Chain A
Amino acid sequence: MNNLPINPLSCATEGAGGPTGTWRSHRPVIDPAKCTGCLLCWIWCPEGVIAKEDRSINYDYCKGCGLCAKECPAHAITMIKEADHE
């Protein structure tokens, strides 16, 4: 972006709201064996942290809302307590 300092401008940046992955108490873990690739978790993740190609999750920003696990029709996603996750 051709950012001129005189106008009050901001630039599109990942993590603009901070390291939101630290908000998480539980993390979603996808079982690739069960995943059918329906892409519902991809379209519904509010943060867009689930990759379309391979459903890998960007834990830097996943807030642990649990929506993907709740909506997955194949029950391929489990929410695991952060402390229990080695």
Chain B
Amino acid sequence: MSDTIKNVKLADMPAYELVKAGTGGCAGCPSPMGLRIVGKALGPNSIMVMTPSCAVASIGVMPKSCYDVPVLNVCFASAGASAAGISMSLDAQLKNGALSGEKPTVFTWVGDGGTYDIGFQGISAAAERNDDFIHFCYNNEAYSNTGVQRSGATPKYAVTTTTPAGKESQKKNVPLLMLEQRIAYVATASLAYPLDFYRKVQKAKSIQGFKYIELHAPCGPGWKFASSDTVELARLAVKSGAWLLWEGEHGKLTLNAPTKQLAEGKMPCAELEEYLKLQGRFAHIMKSTEKAAAIEAMKSEIRREMDFMLGREKL
């Protein structure tokens, strides 16, 4: 269990549930797990935009929905523009008196497919315009909803149904692109660190303009691990350095614990193999003669990334 959750103040989080029990998602799904925390941090005065994904496929069928905030369930490439449209419409209506009260927080809940690939243009453009909403990417590193195909966020070597021999190219780094767009606030987060995530969402809520938060979201059926292991996988990703925790404001980067300590060598990284061997999508590597070389290559990528971020933090 988690030595990372010290001084836990989970008790301070509100009982409010954005997700109503009985969703259509798989047992152990990271999406409602993350959304529940988002709901606690943002509260009910919020409007959510979703695009086709597991989070939508598990919503239930009309006239029912498992989400207890207003939701615009829009097309796959639409998140950035639709959230901007809602946010500006609210501004206009609050100004002309058609609406009153506090402006609801507009946020998106979109997969890595909807963020890294098909929806990237609209999200990057909203970031550039500094439209006032929070974009959440729950990154399960594949198109899980359509049966686990590769996405721009799928890591190298991972098997998906469209990379049956393992992915050959490196994944994109969209949070880093957002950092360099110098948006109001960008953060990465992990399900294994709920308080860190909660704090980041609250922080994003308090800032006007475009905010981007990417949640690492291990998916059992997609990565082939047991439904009980979602948090364990999220934790091992952070501890091995496969997923880095950091945040940035207007281009100013801060590495968060424990990534900072791992990067600075003040704490040893967990063995990457521990993380990989729990997942079926890397099984071909673990069985192959190239196992040692592949793991070495992955580790050197992690080291490079950490060094880069340590240097970037000084800017």
Contact = CB atoms under 8 A, between A and B. Distances in A.
Are A and B bound to each other? yes
Interface of A: 3, 8-20, 23, 38-40, 42-49, 52, 58, 60-61, 63-67, 69-73
Interface stretch (B31-39, B137-145, B158-166, B254-262): B31-39
Nearest to B23: A17
Interface SS of B by simple majority? loop
Interface of B: 1-2, 5, 8, 10-11, 13, 15, 17, 19-25, 27-33, 36-37, 58-69, 191, 194, 226-232
Contacts of B66: 12-13, 16-17
Contact of A10 (B1, B65, B228, B232): B65
Nearest to A47: B21
Contact of A16 (B13, B17, B64): B64
Contacts of A45: 33
B229 A70 contact: yes
B32 A10 contact: no
Interface-central residue, B21, B60, B228, B230, by most chain A CB under 10 Å:
B21
Nearest to B58: A17
A65 to B, nearest CB: 4
Given A8-B62, A65-B28, A70-B229, A39 B10 contact: yes
Given A12-B20, A20-B22, A46-B32, A65 B62 contact: no
